[in-house]
Amino acid sequence: MPLHLHAFPVPTFSSQTAPLASTPLDRWALARIRSTVASARLRFLLWDGFESPSEAGTPVGTIVFKNRRALMGWVWDPDLNLGEAYMFGAVEFRGDLTAMLVEIYRALGRATPRSWWLWQRSNDVDAARENVHRHYDLGNDFYRLWLDREMAYTCAYFPAPGCALEDAQIAKMDRVCRKLALTPGERVVEAGCGWGSLALFMARHYGVTVRAVNVSHEQIAYARERANVEGLADRVEFVEDDYRNLQGRCDAFVSVGMLEHVGLADYSTLGAVIDRSLTASGRGLLHFIGRNRPSPLNPWIRRRIFPGAHPPTLPEVFEHVLEPWDLSVVDVENLRLHYAATLEHWQQRFDAAAGDVETMFDETFVRAWRLYLAGSEAAFITGSMQLFQVVFARGSSNAMPWTRSG
Amino acid sequence: MPLHLHAFPVPTFSSQTAPLASTPLDRWALARIRSTVASARLRFLLWDGFESPSEAGTPVGTIVFKNRRALMGWVWDPDLNLGEAYMFGAVEFRGDLTAMLVEIYRALGRATPRSWWLWQRSNDVDAARENVHRHYDLGNDFYRLWLDREMAYTCAYFPAPGCALEDAQIAKMDRVCRKLALTPGERVVEAGCGWGSLALFMARHYGVTVRAVNVSHEQIAYARERANVEGLADRVEFVEDDYRNLQGRCDAFVSVGMLEHVGLADYSTLGAVIDRSLTASGRGLLHFIGRNRPSPLNPWIRRRIFPGAHPPTLPEVFEHVLEPWDLSVVDVENLRLHYAATLEHWQQRFDAAAGDVETMFDETFVRAWRLYLAGSEAAFITGSMQLFQVVFARGSSNAMPWTRSG
């Protein structure tokens, strides 16, 4: 997998356990780390068994630093190096990874958001393609190991908490269609269609025609094959292209899980694309990971998992995507606990397939993805990240349903 | 009614029909007015029957200028003087007032919003009291003539478009309670409680205790009387005070139709009040008239009907009320067509009671209120104004219901 080699070039941390006993400097560093998450119910150990004392209550797990580099890296830049050290095995999390990360997130509490001008860089067409390529083109075989049957790689909707993932992904698609009040014969544009499950669902169950774009070559190839096999190729067109090149008019514009990758600098461009696409009675739905307050994505996630990503606040989306075009907010739903549940399912499946994943890639990859999935679940559980579904319509249109459907 | 005299000091327009024929200057002015709303399907006439030609299609009504002052006032400042001239009888609208105003609003289309720094002035405690006094203390007898039985003076919720107003106001109250997921024994704070219907409803049907504040003396007196009569005085406390003085903790914070009167400059104060009131699992609901884009309230409405009012955009509310306190947006619903329906009912009732209203006040008052009600309906129909219900919760709280209830 050349992609994987490209993503993880040189390990900066070693999994070797330090041969010597810890020094007073090491113990100072450990106490310092401990103090930044004072209320976290966690044990912190050094390689020689030295433990930083805590008064935070019965621990839910133990974090072990295996060498000085892991320890000092964490002191220097915990946001980045927690992930780096973990993925290369220089730090061990003994216990439930999600529960331990929840402890850390909650303990960090209302940390001052760092400056985030760095994240304003535009993802131009080439950068967008490269960013998507590095994550979504890891191979359909890889994602098939742990996603649901529909290959939906976005937050599901669980009508009840115990619902199966397969059902919850179908329920999500149906919910999106009902929120858009789709009727047979309407034209839908989907920006960022993944492996095509929603586009196919809309055509199959709501009788619409769909033009769906995505810059991921592997995903589009998979989606086209499905459309052919299921006899929907005449009603669902999968286009390998950037959303900025979308042409033609539509009655509904939908985008599930793409806005996070658009980047703030290009929101007005996205708004312009929506405005030139939508008919006078048109409406749309944006489904995206967001924040309560502006803040950048964790730098490790950005380096290793999602280059170029930015989870926006609602005002960022409303002011830059909707407001300039007099698009009206019709409905907003926050589904963050549904994303936590989705991630729980994904982790169980990922763990069950970890042997196959390690064969495909390597142990470092498995650890990195475990941390990403557990860290994401912890972020949704603690409210550090939100999942918003926003329905909008033209400001002057009265075509929306009289009441919402659920 | 001293209030009424205070509100409408000296008529600046006369209802006298000009004795002389119109001049070329008058006809130029009429053509100029006509051109600003070129696509409106309306006839424009001068006092002598002169008509400005139009190609806009079959007219839905006729606007007649009765004298030069009405004509020139409209040219000079249409936003203000349409209302001034109408209320003093210097301009006649022959036809359905709402339908005619819808034509004007649509024709004005995407007019450039004027600068709005003027509206940033803080409504301090005294100003807030005076503003509320001038509108809400017009007399319970007046409002009783045309509001529903519950005296709910905010947007209703119509489960179906043909639903009766009385039922729709009950449905709105129930919807608010369900969105807040109230459970028996919880403490609710209501900021801006009107005549108390929601506070009483919550206590009666959801078993909560309520502290409700309002600066309107007449409304609080009415609400207290109801609480006594209905045996709810031990569970609903009506306090004649400013929302800024709210003390004590609550499980739910609700405000229906107050935010419009708070003013942008005091949003962070409102956020601080919410933050210091809400428990860790607390949530809240804000119900308010808003906009898709920042723009001031019509100056005539501000002068004659709602001094100090500002309908905000969602980003204005989210950034200044919620974001600083890490309050999470849980749910947003746009009910603007429900407000149009509510206003339709109010107008029918108001028209039926117009004789009584004229006896209470005078003809100018009746005309001003007719214009206000019809203009508001037109604003909601055309999307110039929105009605948002926003549910929020503490960012770190997972106490919200798993799915929304409708």
User: Is B162 in the A-facing interface, judged by CB distances under 8 Å?
Assistant: no
- Cβ separation of A383 and B333 shorter than 8 Å? no
Q: Which residue of B has its CA nearest to A332?
A: B332
**Chain B contact set for A315 (CB, 8 A):** 314-315, 318-319, 323
CB contact under 8 A, B396 and A337: no
Instruction: Supply the pLDDT for residue B304.
Output: 85
Q: What is the pLDDT of residue A54?
A: 83
Residue B368's pLDDT band (cuts 50, 70, 90):
very high
Phi then psi for B327, rounded to 5 degrees?
-90, 135
Contact: B329, A331; criterion CB under 8 Å: no
**Banded pLDDT at B121 (limits 50, 70, 90):** very low
At B306 the pLDDT is 83
Tally A–B CB contacts below 8 A.
102
Closest CA to A272 of A238, A312, A323: A323
Read off the pLDDT of each residue in B187-196 and give the average, rounded to a whole number: 97
- For testing contact with chain B, the best of A292, A319, A328, A397 (most B CBs within 10 A): A292
Touching B: A residues 268-327, CB under 8 Å: 292-293, 313-315, 318-319, 322-323, 326-327
Q: Which of A293, A322, A383 sits opposite B323 (nearest CB)?
A: A293
Confidence (pLDDT) at B2: 36
Do B118-394 and B2-108 fall under one CATH topology?
no
Residues of A in contact with B334 (CB under 8 A): 328-331
Calculate how close chain B gets to A190, using CA atoms only, in Å.
Answer: 23
Pairing of strands A250-256, A278-290: parallel
Of the candidates A385, A90, A80, A132, the residue with the CA atom closest to the CA atom of residue A242: A132
Q: What average pLDDT does range B361-385 have in this prediction?
A: 94
Burial class (CB in 10 A: 0-12, 13-18, 19+), B291: buried
Q: Å from B171 to nearest chain A CA?
A: 12
The confidence score (pLDDT) of residue B79 equals: 86
What pLDDT score does B227 carry?
98
- Which residue in chain A is spatially nearest to B394 when comparing CA positions? A383
For every residue of B34-97, which 3-state class applies, written as one string? HHHCCCCCCEEECCCCCEECCCCCCCCEEEEECCHHHHHHHHHCHHHHHHHHHHCCCEEEEECH
What is the reported pLDDT for A135? 75
| Closest residue of chain A to B110, computed from CA coordinates | A326
Q: Tokens 């306090």: give the residue.
A: B239
Looking at residue A126, its pLDDT comes to 75
CB atoms B403 and A159 under 8 Å: yes
Main-chain dihedrals φ then ψ at residue B148, nearest 5 degrees: -75, 175
Mutation pick from B318, B321, B342 vs chain A, by most beta carbons of A within 10 Å, is B318
| Contacts made by residues A315-320, CB under 8 angstroms, sequence distance 24+ | A315/B314, A315/B315, A315/B318, A315/B319, A315/B323, A316/A264, A316/A267, A317/A259, A317/A267, A317/A286, A317/A288, A317/A290, A317/A388, A317/A390, A318/B313, A318/B314, A318/B315, A318/B318, A319/B315, A320/A264, A320/A267, A320/A268, A320/A271
Side-chain-facing half-sphere of B176: CA atoms under 13 Å: 33
Å between B383 CA and nearest CA of chain A: 5
Provide the pLDDT for residue B137: 72
Q: Does A354 touch chain B (CB under 8 A)?
A: no
CA distance linking residue A383 with residue A402, whole number of Å: 32
Query: B2-108: which CATH topology?
Result: Nonspecific Lipid-transfer Protein; Chain A (3.30.1050)
In chain A, residues with a C-beta closer than 8 Å to the C-beta of B336 are 328
Lowest mean pLDDT across A131-135, B47-51, B137-141, B387-391 = A131-135
Rounded to whole angstroms, the Cα distance separating B401 from B406 reads 12
Find how far residue A34's CA is from the centre of its chain.
Answer: 28
**CA distances in angstroms from B317 to A219, B251, B260, B268, B312, listed in the order given:** 39, 21, 11, 9, 7
| Residue A101 to chain B, least CA–CA distance (Å) | 15
What amino acid occupies position B298? N
A331/B334 touch (CB, cutoff 8 Å), yes or no: yes
| C-alpha span between B260 and B328 (Å, rounded) | 21
B313 to A318: CB separation less than 8 angstroms, yes or no: yes
Chain A neighbors of B160, CB-CB under 8 A: 402
Which chain B residue is nearest to residue A387, measuring alpha carbons?
B330
CB-based contact A382 B396, cutoff 8 Å: yes
Among residues 364-383 of chain B, which lie with CB inside 8 Å of chain A?
A: 381-383
| Span B48-103, pLDDT tens digits | 999 988 888 899 999 999 999 999 999 988 888 999 999 999 999 999 999 999 99
* Contacts of the segment B106-115: beta carbons below 8 A, 24+ positions apart: B106/A396, B106/B39, B106/B40, B106/B382, B107/B36, B107/B37, B107/B38, B107/B39, B107/B40, B107/B56, B108/B36, B108/B37, B109/B39, B110/A326, B113/B293, B113/B294, B113/B295, B113/B296, B114/B295, B114/B296
Residue of B333, B335, B388, B390 to mutate for A, most A C-beta atoms under 10 A: B333
pLDDT in 10s for each residue of chain A, 406 residues: 333 434 454 568 999 999 999 999 999 999 999 999 999 999 999 999 999 888 888 999 999 999 999 999 999 888 899 999 999 999 999 999 999 999 999 988 744 443 333 333 456 777 777 776 677 777 899 999 999 999 999 999 999 999 999 999 999 999 999 999 999 999 999 999 999 999 999 999 999 999 999 999 999 999 999 999 999 999 999 999 999 999 899 999 999 999 999 989 999 999 999 999 999 999 999 999 999 998 878 888 888 888 878 899 999 999 999 999 999 999 999 999 999 999 999 999 999 999 999 999 999 999 999 999 999 999 999 999 999 999 999 998 998 899 997 6
Please state, for a pLDDT cut of 90, what percent of chain B lies above it: 77
Name the superfamily (CATH) of residues A118-394: Vaccinia Virus protein VP39 (3.40.50.150)
pLDDT at A10: 53
Chain A partners within 8 Å of B382 (Cβ): 396
pLDDT of B10 > 80? The answer is no
- pTM of the predicted model as reported, rounded to 2 decimal places: 0.92
pLDDT digits (tens, 9 = 90+) for B147-158: 999 999 999 999
- Give the pLDDT band (50/70/90) at residue B112: very low
- pLDDT for residue A116: 33
| Mean pLDDT, chain B, whole residue set | 90
Q: Of A283, A403, A404, which to mutate for an interface test with B (greatest number of B Cβ within 10 Å)?
A: A403
Instruction: Indicate yes or no: CB of B292 within 8 angstroms of CB of A328.
Output: yes
Q: Say if the Cβ atoms of B331 and A326 lie within 8 Å.
A: no
- Contact between A69 and A13 (Cβ < 8 Å): yes
Domain range summary for chain A, segments of one domain joined by +: 2-108, 118-394
Of residues A36 and B138, the one with the higher pLDDT is A36
